[in-house]
A and B are shown apart, each in its own frame.
Chain A
């Protein structure tokens, strides 16, 4: 049924030459045809030596539980897919910015990361009229968050449009990853979005294992998943606390601030780093996990978890908080689907997309996905985090009670198979984090694409503010809590 495309399972590799090369018009129609049931995971251009480019599409097919790959040779320009499907918007802007390859007919081809022009200098959307009030926030923020520029077009307190302009964190991560893997590759991968370090490391490990044919024991896979769930918990707790803080609901804000620290410290206990850096490595783990550690973590979790449920129930039972969250920043399922939003933000709006279910790994190890249907408001984005925390805890308790033990395993890395493509998707706490690696003939990375869930979701945040009160922006923003650096790379 998917004979046109190359079919690939999550965390596996295939020869690059097996990816069917299609004539562009056919390529475009086939992709658009698939967009009804699939979603776009990656869409990028590879420069060839003769000046042409290979447009490559990686679609996720939940029915087939895997990925569909195809490529097409173009030069100079190609007919934009964004005009038909908004989910391609940022991908095409990225292609234009990086390679000067023009997506013809793109509705508004703005710089994405300002790689070639001064940051922030672009033609912003503007409303005209006497009573219009334009509020520009950033790129320097009052708090400790990352830089980004937000423009609100308001009439009084009502927001008519929000435009989000990013790129201030662009470091050229993907460029630095080319010709890897080398000593700094793991560091670059883990810090592409520092709050999803473990998810990124798991993805990278799977890619290298697939390309290098490195076997990994089931114990190690389980321990990795445990670390990933700790990361999910810490982030969800931190964000729920921040949401409480933004509506001045003090107790939950304070408690969650502390409890998040407990989960980060559990990661530190596990591997020596609060953010789980330098733990998951291709083919193994850098630290040993013994019975003593497992017992300690289990006792710790037993102590902290009740405190967590107390703090969260306090907030979810408070009518004044619910009044702020409910019907605030609603993004409809139709809009989320159109924009290609992913992860818990999309699920909170009733879009069924969870890479744990849609693209399962062969071992099937992960916290059980949450069955959730919400209206896409701040309340549902908060509630789904609560439900995910419950499932993560079930998983953590289950694993810790019968903890697989493993010594530190640091295999000698062999050369990667040349001329291959590998795709790995992990459900990080925000949503699906996708890595696509291509190897050159010398076994080095020809290209390494990182698609953070934020890359899909920033536009959804902008839509959440339509017809919303400008004073509700902070809680809308926190409920998504998207990554700036993960987007800017």
Chain B
């Protein structure tokens, strides 16, 4: 059984690595549908990545080794973080108590490296992007850790797999359902922020002055940019996986059905992102802290409901 679980996990992990660029394709197709266009191919990101991989690396003469190693190191951290998620299973075979904190610190390290590399270039655009990224991610982190606290109280553990497994929308009573709806909403906001989607950032923009994440990678090209694109796709996959595991109840994750539910859920998340990007404009920067604080408030509300109606710790 243990071995079988491991094989399934490896399968899901490999599938995540292979299919993550598809998410961008799905989002773009949904957006194209709303805009009345055919849109680019759903495999466009694969084409872009292959095209970039064939080019040569060019680095500015004023930058040092940080700029050079940053893309691969970021990807490494994101891949490590992904391995801690249960993916299509009930729990990750690599999980351990406390890995929830490690997961988000892996992502924090990836961001830290992006920011360092951005500052390394000395460009005023990249400095601006780095400052914005740090500001908004600090606020997003508050929502994430409040959410972890909620899940820890709910499940009595700090192991990601177990925390997410015991979550899921409980439809037995309004207060269990409310907790998970609020938590899911809050995490979706965090997902949009962390993955530079509308209303936080516009991944399509060519306007440096309005960029957050894009501004930090302006100096990259060729294979470095390919790795960055790929890392961003994988990060989106990671957040979508977390959201799916958070929202879907435990019973969904059994056997092959579980794996189908998982991949279906990730794809639906991409469709949702596409719809949001099609029907609303991007917010102004001054409003973004309010949105992220709002996410934190949702989690705190869930926490209060959890403590007063659900009797705090369940297990």
**Do A and B make up one complex?**
yes
By a beta-carbon cutoff of 8 Å, the part of chain A in contact with chain B is 133-137, 142-143, 156-157, 244, 246-251, 253-255, 258, 318, 320-321, 323-324, 328, 469-474
Smallest beta-carbon distance B21→chain A, Å: 21
Contacts of A246 in B (CB 8 A): 205, 207, 210
> With the chains together, A156 CA to B207 CA distance in Å?
18
Q: Among the listed B34, B125, B210, which residue makes an inter-chain contact with A251, where contact means beta carbons less than 8 Å apart?
A: B34
Smallest beta-carbon distance A163→chain B, Å: 15
Contacts of B285 in A (CB 8 A): 157, 469, 471
Contacts of A471 in B (CB 8 A): 209-210, 284-285
> With the chains together, A318 CA to B198 CA distance in Å?
15
Whether A318 contacts B280 by the Cβ 8 Å rule is: yes
> With the chains together, A248 CA to B279 CA distance in Å?
9
> With the chains together, A270 CA to B237 CA distance in Å?
52
Q: Is B283 an interface residue (CB 8 A)?
A: yes
Whether A248 contacts B208 by the Cβ 8 Å rule is: no
> With the chains together, A321 CA to B287 CA distance in Å?
13
Q: Is B124 an interface residue (CB 8 A)?
A: yes
Smallest beta-carbon distance B182→chain A, Å: 22
Main secondary structure of the interface of B (DSSP, over half): helix
Contacts of B128 in A (CB 8 A): 133, 135, 157, 470
Q: Is B51 an interface residue (CB 8 A)?
A: no
> With the chains together, A320 CA to B207 CA distance in Å?
19
For B31, give the chain A residue with the smallest CB separation: A250
Contacts of B206 in A (CB 8 A): 142-143
User: Given A135-B128, A469-B285, A471-B285 in contact, is the A248-B202 Cβ separation under 8 Å?
Assistant: yes
Subset of 18 A-B contacts with CB under 8 Å: A133-B128, A135-B125, A142-B207, A156-B131, A157-B128, A246-B210, A247-B281, A247-B282, A248-B281, A250-B277, A250-B278, A251-B34, A254-B36, A320-B280, A320-B282, A323-B287, A470-B209, A471-B284
User: Given A135-B209, A136-B124, A471-B210 in contact, is the A254-B284 Cβ separation under 8 Å?
Assistant: no
Whether A323 contacts B284 by the Cβ 8 Å rule is: yes
Q: Is B204 an interface residue (CB 8 A)?
A: yes
Chain B, 114-133, contact with A by CB distance < 8 Å: what is the 0/1 string? 00000000001101100110
Whether A249 contacts B280 by the Cβ 8 Å rule is: yes
Whether B284 contacts A248 by the Cβ 8 Å rule is: no
Contacts of B173 in A (CB 8 A): none
> With the chains together, A253 CA to B128 CA distance in Å?
27
Whether A250 contacts B34 by the Cβ 8 Å rule is: yes
Q: Is B14 an interface residue (CB 8 A)?
A: no
Whether A248 contacts B127 by the Cβ 8 Å rule is: no
Chain B, 193-211, contact with A by CB distance < 8 Å: what is the 0/1 string? 0000011001011111110
Q: Is B4 an interface residue (CB 8 A)?
A: no
Contacts of B37 in A (CB 8 A): 254
For B127, give the chain A residue with the smallest CB separation: A133
Whether A323 contacts B283 by the Cβ 8 Å rule is: yes
Q: Among the listed A134, A136, A255, A470, which residue makes an inter-chain contact with B36, where contact means beta carbons less than 8 Å apart?
A: A255
Whether B284 contacts A469 by the Cβ 8 Å rule is: yes
> With the chains together, A320 CA to B283 CA distance in Å?
7
Q: Is B314 an interface residue (CB 8 A)?
A: no
Please provide the chain B residues from 207 to 247 with a CB less than 8 Å away from any CB of chain A in the complex: 207-210
Contacts of A250 in B (CB 8 A): 31, 34-35, 277-278
> With the chains together, A318 CA to B282 CA distance in Å?
12
Smallest beta-carbon distance B270→chain A, Å: 16
Q: Is B286 an interface residue (CB 8 A)?
A: yes
Smallest beta-carbon distance B38→chain A, Å: 11
Contacts of B205 in A (CB 8 A): 246, 248
- B interface residue count range (under 10 / 10 to 19 / 20 to 34 / 35 or more): 20 to 34
Contacts of B208 in A (CB 8 A): 137, 142
For A157, give the chain B residue with the smallest CB separation: B285
- Interface contacts beyond A251-B279, A474-B209: sample of 10 additional A-B pairs, CB < 8 Å, sorted by A: A133-B124, A135-B128, A136-B124, A157-B285, A251-B35, A251-B36, A254-B36, A320-B282, A324-B282, A471-B284
Contacts of B278 in A (CB 8 A): 250-251
> With the chains together, A251 CA to B128 CA distance in Å?
29
For B208, give the chain A residue with the smallest CB separation: A142
> With the chains together, A472 CA to B36 CA distance in Å?
27
Whether A248 contacts B282 by the Cβ 8 Å rule is: yes
For A150, give the chain B residue with the smallest CB separation: B209
Smallest beta-carbon distance B140→chain A, Å: 18
For B278, give the chain A residue with the smallest CB separation: A250
For B37, give the chain A residue with the smallest CB separation: A254
> Which 5 residue pairs across A and B have the least CB separation, nearest first?
A254-B35, A248-B202, A248-B282, A247-B281, A249-B281
Smallest beta-carbon distance A241→chain B, Å: 11
In this complex, the member of A143, A248, A253, A320 whose beta carbon has the largest number of chain B beta carbons within 10 angstroms is A248
> With the chains together, A417 CA to B37 CA distance in Å?
56
Contacts of A142 in B (CB 8 A): 206-208
Whether A137 contacts B198 by the Cβ 8 Å rule is: no
> With the chains together, A156 CA to B204 CA distance in Å?
24
Whether B281 contacts A321 by the Cβ 8 Å rule is: yes
Contacts of A321 in B (CB 8 A): 281
Smallest beta-carbon distance B186→chain A, Å: 20
User: Given A248-B202, A251-B35, A320-B199 in contact, is the A474-B282 Cβ separation under 8 Å?
Assistant: no
Contacts of A249 in B (CB 8 A): 280-282
In this complex, the member of A134, A249, A255, A321 whose beta carbon has the largest number of chain B beta carbons within 10 angstroms is A249
> With the chains together, A399 CA to B79 CA distance in Å?
65
Q: Among the listed B35, B198, B210, B287, which residue makes an inter-chain contact with A255, where contact means beta carbons less than 8 Å apart?
A: B35
Smallest beta-carbon distance A379→chain B, Å: 12
User: Given A133-B124, A250-B31 in contact, is the A324-B209 Cβ separation under 8 Å?
Assistant: no
Contacts of A473 in B (CB 8 A): 209-210
Smallest beta-carbon distance A21→chain B, Å: 49
Smallest beta-carbon distance A479→chain B, Å: 14
Contacts of A324 in B (CB 8 A): 281-284
Contacts of B34 in A (CB 8 A): 250-251
In this complex, the member of A134, A137, A250, A328 whose beta carbon has the largest number of chain B beta carbons within 10 angstroms is A250
For B274, give the chain A residue with the smallest CB separation: A250
Whether B209 contacts A253 by the Cβ 8 Å rule is: no
Contacts of B125 in A (CB 8 A): 135
For B212, give the chain A residue with the smallest CB separation: A471
Smallest beta-carbon distance A488→chain B, Å: 23
Contacts of A136 in B (CB 8 A): 124
> With the chains together, A328 CA to B282 CA distance in Å?
14
> With the chains together, A395 CA to B37 CA distance in Å?
31
Contacts of B283 in A (CB 8 A): 320, 323-324
> With the chains together, A137 CA to B124 CA distance in Å?
9
Contacts of A244 in B (CB 8 A): 281
> With the chains together, A471 CA to B202 CA distance in Å?
12
Contacts of A248 in B (CB 8 A): 198-199, 202, 204-205, 277, 281-282
> With the chains together, A470 CA to B131 CA distance in Å?
13
For A469, give the chain B residue with the smallest CB separation: B285
Contacts of B284 in A (CB 8 A): 323-324, 328, 469, 471-472
